[in-house]
Amino acid sequence: MAGLLHIDDHVLFSQGVMALLQDVPTLRWLGHADSIASGVEKCRQCQPDMVLLDYFLPDGHGLDAARQLLALDPALRIVFLTMEHSRHIMEQCQALGVHGYLQKTVGRQELLEALEAVRKGQHYYMWRQHDEGWQSPANKITLLSKREKQIALLVCAGLTSAEIAERLSLSLLTVSTHRKNLLRKLDIKNAAQLAALASQLKATL
């Protein structure tokens, strides 16, 4: 069972969400917070497994909130539930490590499916579920930083992490971190899959 906290300054909406979710056997409702500050404090107190998070909050926006919450608990699974519908913001959420993104117009069944997927450690983005073309790794290259693209190309060329560290005058830990992040952002598992993107990577540098 996963403990769930909801951060949203619309109390009536949060009460509606609570009514939808409080009887779900795999979830334990831990309460509601109406700002980033109160949400961070409640996370310290009740240590939720998952957080449902609005994008627009009185003391900042959802990306700021997600950064603060993940700094507090890197294992926290965050799902945005918001009226904001921007692929750019969704991409930023994905790059940050947010597990899910849903609009408030979502139906109960899809909300439950998304939360169950995230509870199991999976990711659920509405635009990814309904737009297969957007899911391809080639379309996610724009999520990479310039340094990550450089390292990706060197991986494609067959260099080891130690060789990349020496060539770029970076520490081995830094290179390893970049490699892990770029694979996560592209949603791929290994260097072989990365090599298939070499031409697209070169075109972006």
Full pLDDT tens readout for the chain, 205 residues: 999 999 999 989 999 999 999 899 999 999 999 999 999 999 999 999 999 999 999 999 999 999 999 999 999 999 999 988 777 788 889 888 899 999 888 888 889 999 999 999 888 887 654 454 445 566 677 778 889 999 999 999 999 999 999 999 999 999 999 999 888 888 788 888 888 888 778 877 7
DSSP string for residues in 145-194: -HHHHHHHHHHHTT--HHHHHHHHT--HHHHHHHHHHHHHHHT--SHHHH
pLDDT of residue 133: 46
* pLDDT score at 51: 98
Q: Cα separation of 77 and 185, whole Å? A: 16
Spell out the domains of the chain, with CATH numbers in brackets: 2-134 (3.40.50.2300), 137-203 (1.10.10.10)
**How, if at all, do strands 56-57 and 50-53 pair?**
unpaired
At 186 the pLDDT is 81
How confident is the model at residue 139, as a pLDDT?
Answer: 61
Q: What are 165's two structure tokens?
A: 């560290």
pLDDT at residue 57, rounded to an integer: 95
pLDDT score recorded for residue 37: 96
